[in-house]
Chain A
């Protein structure tokens, strides 16, 4: 494999789930967390999953990330079954999960250490470029705890993008941020997506966030999650969070979610 040129576009992954299901068996009970569920995400597509909390959205991401394996069905990335986590699929969590024993620059360069052929200077250069990309230039030598919540999540994004993953998996990454910071990050995330068209699978329960970011929104049922409706969003990008068309679509998504909750959710108490 050739050295990852920093500004060359990374190839984007095609993600396919066929009949994927996950059942957690504990000593007390067996819980069907997911599916069986079919899902195809095209290379470069931005797909947002919305669903009631506890419906198995995170389980779905964990299957694609390779942190968990499906109890039935298959999960494939570019036609290759997922057998474990790998640097081709970067994950962003609700908590930034930055490493407090490293400064910001070393956090961003962490994944590059696995590319044995990059020298320390090259790693620093790549880290610096990705810090610029998320508007954190000048913070490379800060400690993690010195950053604000939004800056931490930006650094986590830079850390995930630096090794040039072909897919980005986001598990409610903006869930714990204040509204103002979140809205700024929607714009930045759209910018980043426009530049690289990296396949993105994004979990949220914020319907306006879904309408603002997605090419396609999948509405999931309560546990075990199945896709109950699909909404394609063709608004031009970049989209403004307060664009009335975004609000309208958010309303539609919410109605789809509610419809499902009132139809199938009674047994959930």
Chain B
């Protein structure tokens, strides 16, 4: 493989690629294969987003989705990490929960929405339920795997240095499992974001999912595509700002990343 280009160059390459994608999109639109009401042009989409921002329907929905996501995710991560640690240290807990969680993981987020509505009605509790069920299992399994794959000599070294009991979990098991845990939390964030938007799509009067749903109801393709782009952008932004930074630091400290990454 070729050498990795410098960050500035990589940014330029990415921008050029995105511009090319937009041009391709414009070309497909201009060729007229599809009727205008099903495929908007990039310009129409951008214009519709500006309109949504101006008339005050975009920001409250962005805020609502992000707030739901953050609250639901905190709940989900707390549950997922605690259950993951239990699975990591107890073979009994692992054999019970692992197949359950692997099974749960095969369900798409949207499949949790009907049961969430039946259980919790039309409140936000249903959305939190969907977030937790979409993301908790992945975080629990990653944490359990992280603890299960700790080199046994870490634990032995710590025990022969006088560490025992709870300190063995907090000072050795959890930090040693950190690279796995962070990867799991990152994945959980993405899955949870799927969950929020899926839940809002079906039930809500505010949120990105709601705007998607409304766009379809009104045959407003520009709104549908525009909100999809906003959803991607927010998911990506939070991932880059939060988890990728932490993950990269850990990789550098553990020595997984090339030294150049420190500069």
Contacts from A to B (Cβ < 8 Å):
65-67, 84-87, 89-91, 93, 95, 97, 99-102, 110-111, 113-114, 143-146, 156, 159-160, 163, 169
Contact = CB atoms under 8 A, between A and B. Distances in A.
A106 to B, nearest CB: 11
Nearest to B175: A101
A132 B159 CA distance: 25
A125 B207 CA distance: 56
Contacts of A160: 160-161
A110 B154 CA distance: 12
B156 A143 contact: no
B253 A100 contact: yes
Interface of B: 151, 153-154, 156-163, 171-172, 175-176, 178, 252-255
Given A143-B253, A163-B162, A99 B176 contact: yes
A87 B161 contact: yes
Contacts of A95: 151, 153
B156 A91 contact: yes
16 contacts: A85-B156, A85-B159, A93-B153, A97-B156, A99-B154, A100-B253, A101-B175, A101-B254, A110-B158, A110-B163, A113-B171, A114-B162, A114-B163, A143-B255, A144-B255, A146-B255
Nearest to A110: B161
A67 B161 contact: no
A159 B253 contact: no
Contacts of A102: 175
A97 B157 contact: yes
B104 to A, nearest CB: 30
Contacts, number: 73
Given A67-B156, A91-B156, A97 B161 contact: no
Residue from B158, B160, B163, B175 with most neighbouring chain A CB atoms (10 Å): B160
A159 B156 contact: no
A92 B173 CA distance: 20
A65 B153 CA distance: 13
A67 B159 CA distance: 9
Given A97-B151, A97-B153, A97-B154, A91 B253 contact: no
B253 A87 contact: no
A262 to B, nearest CB: 34
A84 B165 CA distance: 13
A130 to B, nearest CB: 13
Contacts of A110: 158, 161, 163, 171
Contact of A90 (B161, B163, B255): B161
B191 to A, nearest CB: 26
A163 B161 contact: yes
B249 to A, nearest CB: 11
Contacts of B153: 93, 95, 97
A172 to B, nearest CB: 13
A91 B154 contact: no
From A66, A102, A145, name the one whose CB has the most chain B CB atoms within 10 angstroms: A145
Contacts of B252: 143
Nearest to A67: B156
Nearest to B255: A145
A146 B176 CA distance: 18
Contact of B156 (A86, A93, A99, A146): A93
Nearest to B250: A101
Contacts of A91: 156-157, 160
A87 B161 CA distance: 5
B255 A111 contact: no
A44 to B, nearest CB: 20
A99 B161 contact: no
Nearest to B254: A100
B161 A114 contact: yes
Nearest to B156: A67
B161 A145 contact: no
8 nearest A-B pairs in the assembled complex, by CB-CB distance: A145-B255, A111-B161, A87-B162, A114-B162, A97-B153, A101-B175, A85-B159, A91-B160
Nearest to B151: A97
